Amino acid sequence: MSSAAQSDRHFEFKLDSRSGVPAYRQIIDQVLGGIAAGGLKPGEQLPTVRQLAVDLAINPNTVVRAYRELEIREVLETQQGTGTFVTDKKPKSNELERRRRVAQLAGELLARAGAEGITLQELVDYFSELQKEQNRRT
């Protein structure tokens, strides 16, 4: 619900407390998504643990957990006294992680669509049309 961004930055972190996804997972997913989409580039500095925790109104240990997992994956690098930076290594994606992320996104989409009165069949029909359009372009 809250967002975090330094005033000179364009990348924002947002937490959705209604998603059922732990905050640390949301941070990890947003960093990985930001890198994949090009919103976070190698060498770019992330907010400090303290700053992100304050901006998102969460416990700093939650941010530490997310940053640490991303460091283990070699996606982030923390330089003592300087900050946490995006590395130039591409995130490693395994099939299990990918399936978990797809399931999470699909669940969120279905929940939001259901709240708007949109049925699963309407979504399937829409996605089929999108795929047909994409196939025509290629």
Same-domain check for residues 73 and 113: no
Domains in the chain: how many in total? Answer: 2
Nearest C-alpha neighbor of 12 from the set 3, 21, 25: 3
Average pLDDT over residues 86-114: 80
Judgement on whether residues 10 and 76 belong to the same structural domain of the protein: yes
SS3 category, 88 = coil
The Cβ-side half-sphere exposure at 65, using a 13 Å CA radius, reads: 13
* Mean pLDDT computed over 104-127: 89
- The predicted pLDDT at position 123 comes to 92
Q: What is the pLDDT of residue 1?
A: 42
Q: What is the pLDDT of residue 10?
A: 60
Listed in sequence order, the residues at least 6 apart from 66 whose beta carbon sits closer than 8 Å to its beta carbon are 23, 24, 25, 27, 28, 31
- Against a cut of 0.75, is the pTM above it? no
Query: In this predicted model, what pLDDT tens digit does every residue of 36-77 receive, in sequence order?
Result: 888 899 999 999 999 999 999 999 999 999 999 999 989 999
Mean pLDDT of 96-112: 81
Q: Does residue 114 share a domain with residue 76?
A: no
Are 62 and 53 within 8 A, CB to CB? yes
Q: Are 114 and 122 in contact (CB under 8 A)?
A: no
For the beta carbon of residue 35, count every other beta carbon within 10 angstroms: 22
pLDDT at 71: 94
Pseudo-torsion of CA 108, 72, 81, 61, nearest 10°? 50
What CATH number is given to the structural domain containing 46? 1.10.10.10
